[in-house]
Each structure stands twice: as C-alpha cells, then as structure tokens.
A and B are shown apart, each in its own frame.
Chain A
C-alpha cells in the first residue's frame, strides 16, 4: 500500500500567486516526520521543510509552510508568492521509526511537477 500519496502529477501556478501541493500519508507509528524536498531540473535534492508528528504548530520556512492535519493524515505544502525559480519537482517524504527499534526509514511520494507561469 502507498504510504505517501501525491495525487497531483503536475500543477501550474501564476507567478506571485500561492499554490498548495497535496500529500497524504499512512503510518501506524506514533512518531514520524514529514518532509518536503524540491528537485529542480538540474537534479539535486533540496530540503525545504520538516514537520514532526508531535509538533503542535505548522512548520514554516520563508515562503514555504506545511499545512499539517494529523487526523486527516495530510501534510500539504503551501508556497506563497510563487516565483519562476520555484518551477521544479516537489517530493513529500515521511520518516518512520525511532523509539526502541532504532530504525529510521524514509519513504518518498512520486512527486508533483510544478510549473510557474510568468
């Protein structure tokens, strides 16, 4: 079963507008972390934002915010004031594990390709 689901293969947004990239997850582990990464066409993976399962507040990093709805198991990325340089592939990821098992496994979604239009 898919543990991380990104249902939007591609998205378009007008420059300077906000955009929401969807991510839902599935885990029975009470301790987990949720991440978003950006992969531009050059191929490198860039960390954007992190949300811990016990964090009370939604994470924010500059123009990025993570809309964390624990009961709905969703961790959507919101990019405000989109810029042309935001055009890239975006991956949602989850880290499971920890506790006494000591295992820490990352699971990635299939990604959303965002195109910002001038």
Chain B
C-alpha cells in the first residue's frame, strides 16, 4: 500500500490563480480530510468527507472546494489563491469515520505571492 499520497509537494502560485491539490489513498478508507498548518496555529480542518459523495465543512472552509467522487480520491481546489492561503496542507484518512488512527499524507507546501 502506498498509504496517503499528496501531489504536488511544493507549489508557488500567483494571487488569483486556481489550482487543485491532489490526495489519494489506497487503503479503502471511508473518512478523508484536509488540514492546513500555519506557524503557531496547529492544524485546522478545512473540509472532510465521510464517504464517496459526502463532504462537509471544517473550521476554515472559505476559499476551498472539495469533492469525493471515489473512495480513493479527495482533491482540494483553491478557487482564487490569496497570500493568506500560504500554508502547508495535509490530507489524512481513517478506515472508518469513528476509527481512531488518522493516516496523514506527507503534505504540500503552498506559497501564494
């Protein structure tokens, strides 16, 4: 198993550009989520999904869209990038929504200039 994979590892965007951060897992996990990590802020939940076709907002959803058309993939879309979205983004998954162990991807470092 590859676990949770994220692409790209690094990305630089200009203000106003859009892009999609990819996240995939090959463990047939039900629950997937996106976080952003800013210095001194810990991880904050952006969006999550409890299964294919079901998504919901987390703590900081503004400026981001998600979809979950398959169990494996959970892409995060930045609609119009802003410097405030400069952060490290982590995708995570758990086998079931009430499971206790989250598997994290390696992260994507995004810089918006």
User: How distant is A65 from chain B, measured CB to nearest CB, in Å?
Assistant: 16
CB-based contact A44/B104 at 8 Å: yes
C-beta contact mask, B40-62 vs A, less than 8 Å → 1, else 0? 11111100101000001011000
Binds B, one of A13-21, A71-79, A80-88, A106-114: A106-114
Chain A, 1-55, CB within 8 A of any chain B CB: 4, 33, 35, 43-45, 47, 50, 52
Residues 47-104 of B at the A interface (beta carbon under 8 Å): 48, 50, 56, 58-59, 88, 90, 92, 97-98, 100-104
Cα A45 to Cα B90 in complex, Å, equals 9
Provide the residues of chain A in CB contact with B48, threshold 8 Å: 104-106
| Chain B residues bordering chain A, tally (CB within 8 A) | 26
Question: Within the assembled complex, what's the spacing in Å between the Cα atoms of A33 and B100?
Answer: 8
Query: Cβ of A107 and Cβ of B98 under 8 Å apart?
Result: no
B43 contacts which chain A residues (CB < 8 A)? 45, 91, 93, 106, 108
Interface of chain B: mostly helix, strand, loop or mixed: strand
Number of interchain pairs (Cβ within 8 Å): 57
A45 B31 Cβ-Cβ under 8 A? no
Closest Cβ of chain A to B86, distance in Å, is: 16
A52 & B100 in contact (Cβ 8 Å cutoff): yes
Main secondary structure of the interface of A (DSSP, over half): strand
Tally of chain A residues near chain B (CB < 8 A) = 23
Interface pair B42/A111, CB less than 8 Å apart: yes
Binding site for B on A (CB under 8 A): 4, 33, 35, 43-45, 47, 50, 52, 91, 93, 95, 98, 102-111
What are the 4 tightest A-B residue pairs by CB atom distance, in nearest-first order? A50-B100, A45-B104, A108-B42, A108-B43
Starting from the known contacts A43-B107, A105-B59, A106-B35, 14 additional A-B residue pairs (CB-CB under 8 Å) come to A43-B88, A43-B106, A45-B92, A47-B102, A103-B50, A104-B50, A106-B43, A107-B45, A107-B59, A108-B35, A108-B44, A109-B42, A110-B41, A110-B42
